[in-house]
């Protein structure tokens, strides 16, 4: 049986996967949804440790697919690097990814970095980044936007300023980069740059909220996808 470890992105929580989880369960899979937002103070490395802890709880009676949305791509890749035998495949969903020593502020455009720092300084006590509006995640349906806005939380600036620590082990784990279209950032190129196959999906950035069904189909296909990369 496949276990999907689903890691939410910035400003979100495990609830981000609420519409996807039942679909994966109906297809016969198990899920784990670690909470990166639980600690009062945390950075990228703390988030990676949270993912490692989740991976360590999975029973060894099936395959594990590690799935990360947006910012969580960085934390998930660091976690997979620390536990290279735990996950058989890594999926980025509109996810940020880079080599050792790359963090969000190294990969994101200058305009993003400037806007985030300004928001943290003017509206977030210098340490926290206030949540953007739902439209920033591609959510425009009024009901979905209201649901999302009520749940978004501030994101600690340290999660964006810290840089990944990778030994290279993660690069031997097969990966898929699901990139949503129309694109907000070049997630297809980021995925391809770290050696992942790329899959396009017509959906907004928060695809797990707006279009969970096609994402579930892709993930179930990934669970049986055979990659030529050597296993660790």
Confidence of residue 193 (pLDDT cuts 50, 70, 90): very high
Given a contact cutoff of 8 angstroms between Cβ atoms, the answer to whether 76 and 90 are in contact is yes
| pLDDT, tens digit, 9 for 90 and up, residues 160-187 | 999 999 999 999 999 999 999 999 999 9
Confidence of residue 17 (pLDDT cuts 50, 70, 90): very high
pLDDT of residue 124: 83
- How many Å apart are CA 214 and CA 105, to the nearest integer? 30
Dump the DSSP string for 141-163.
SHHHHHHHHTT---EETHHHHS-
Domain residue ranges in the chain: 3-223
pLDDT of 225 > 70? The answer is no
Please check whether residue 4 is in contact with residue 29, taking contact to mean a CB–CB distance below 8 angstroms: yes
pTM: 0.94
The fold for domain 3-223 equals Rossmann fold (3.40.50)
pLDDT in tens, 47-89: 999 999 999 999 766 799 999 999 999 999 999 999 999 999 9
**For range 9-29, the mean pLDDT:** 98
Residue in 54, 56, 83, 29 with CA at minimum distance from that of residue 222: 29
Rounded CA separation 82/184 (Å): 30
How far is it, in rounded angstroms, from Cα 179 to Cα 96? Answer: 10
């Amino acid at each position: 049986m496949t276990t999907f470890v689903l890691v939410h992105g910035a400003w979100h929580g495990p609830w981000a996967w609420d519409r996807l989880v039942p679909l994966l369960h109906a297809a016969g899979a198990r899920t784990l949804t670690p909470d990166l937002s639980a600690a009062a103070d945390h950075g990228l490395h703390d988030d990676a440790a949270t993912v490692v802890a989740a991976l360590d709880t999975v029973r060894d009676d099936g395959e594990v697919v590690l799935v990360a949305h947006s910012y969580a791509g960085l934390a998930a890749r660091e976690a997979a690097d620390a536990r290279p035998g735990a996950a058989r495949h890594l999926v980025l969903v509109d996810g940020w990814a880079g080599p050792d020593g790359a963090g969000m502020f190294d990969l994101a455009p200058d305009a993003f970095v400037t806007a985030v720092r300004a928001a943290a300084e003017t509206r977030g006590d210098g340490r926290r980044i206030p949540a953007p509006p739902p439209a920033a995640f591609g959510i425009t349906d009024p009901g979905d936007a209201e649901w999302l806005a009520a749940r978004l939380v501030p994101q600690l600036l340290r999660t964006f300023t810290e840089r990944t620590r990778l030994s290279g082990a993660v690069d031997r784990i097969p990966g898929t980069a699901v990139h949503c279209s129309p694109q907000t950032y070049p997630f297809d190129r980021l995925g391809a740059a770290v050696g992942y196959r790329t899959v396009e999906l017509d959906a907004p950035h928060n695809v797990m909220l707006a279009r969970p069904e096609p994402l579930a189909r892709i993930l179930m296909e990934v669970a049986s996808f055979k990659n030529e990369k050597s296993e660790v």
